[in-house]
Amino acid sequence: YQRFFAGSTFNSVHLSKWPEFADELTKSDRVVVIVQVNGKVRESFEVERGTTKNELEKMAKNSQKVKKHISGSISKLIFVQDKILNIVVS
């Protein structure tokens, strides 16, 4: 084995450096945002990262799954960027 690789530039695995971690390669451009009505999951949307509260609110209000659970007036909207939209109905 040593005679075969003698004089070459071969380095064993245990002498190699660890690869560098690239955080930007692990992030996706799209995320799944959950829509809740009074704390219960009613819909989920796959949207671009950074979608605004107003855009998600329009999407949720146009969804048939959410519409049937919004019978009263909306008293509060709780929004966490790229994660959740919770609609509180009174």
Q: Tens digit of pLDDT for each residue in 16-30?
A: 788 888 888 888 899
81 within 8 A of 50, measured Cβ to Cβ:
yes
Q: What is the reported pLDDT for 90?
A: 87
Q: What is the pTM of this model?
A: 0.70
Q: Quick one: which H or E segment has residue 62?
A: helix 53-62
Sign of CA dihedral 78, 79, 80, 83: positive
Q: Which letter does DSSP use for residue 36 in this model?
A: E
Portion of the chain with pLDDT greater than 70, in percent? 87
Q: 17: Cβ–Cβ under 8 A, 6 or more apart, which residues? A: none
Binned at pLDDT 50, 70 and 90, residue 6 comes out as low
- What is the per-residue pLDDT across 56-67, written as a single tens digit (0 to 9) for each? 999 999 999 999
d(CA 36, CA 13): 50
